[in-house]
Amino acid sequence: MRVPRHALHDVEVEAEEITEEQKAATPVSVDWSKKGATSAIKNQYKCGSCWAFSTTEGIESSVFMATGKMLDLSTQQIIACDSRDGGCDGGDPSTALKYVEKAGGLDTAKDYPDTSHTHGKTGNCKWDKKEAVRVKSWKYAVKPCSRGSCTHQDEEALAAAVAKYGPLSICLNAGGDFWDNYSGGVLPNTCSGAARDLDHCVQLVGFDKSGAEPYWKVRNSWGPKWGEEGFIRLPYGKNACGVADEAYIITAEISSFVNESSVMV
């Protein structure tokens, strides 16, 4: 399920400065999903909570990049406790990250498991205030595009950011039949990257520019039976589906409350 994410542009976020030297030094391919930097594929099912899944996954990957430890974190806390966003009716990573920062952190999925996916209802906040991780900061990986066709996004800078910082939380266009009917390969259709078409948030985990069909590798939240075991490949260099319109670099740290049983090796 997907619903239009609520783009709340009153949250001031700066963009990373990627130099031409950094872009030139970027490897031709990166796949963080094969390096332990992503948790298991999740499924939002009946709840329009893609924005919360994207945010949670971005925080998980940030902790891994800093510590080498993968934590399974709570999507339900963000879905039910973030009053700025709409729970199962949509939201955006910028306000979700602001919530996590203000709340003091994010719990583990073991302590606060996801229930919204089973019935499509946001539910009441039941967090016990014991955070597993804290969000220290976040920024856009490249200058975002919030209006127009977004045909001039800097994908080379985005690739440099992915190579340096690891998987990124992003929002894009998953509308129409492009995604619904996807079963594998590089998406062959022209998928609009216009700002008005963004309706889904996911995780950007890598890219490959070496072959005849260069692509971005994106992790979805529709379960492991969808696409390529939960992933989709989008054409590189065309801002396909708006892959470079709204991408976040997140910096997070483990809290003293976390217990070793929550850490996935």
> Catalytic amino acids?
50, 200, 220
Distance CA 41, CA 222 (A): 8
> For residues 147 and 92, what is the distance between their CA atoms, to the nearest angstrom?
16
Find the DSSP H helices in 40-103: 50-67, 75-81, 93-103
Tokens linked to 118 = 């089973």
Check the CA dihedral 75-77-80-85 and report its sign: negative
Beta bridge partners of 222: 43
Beta bridge partners of 247: 170
Spatial contact of 109 and 72, defined as CB atoms under 8 Å apart? yes
Residue 173 burial (CB count, 10 A) = 24
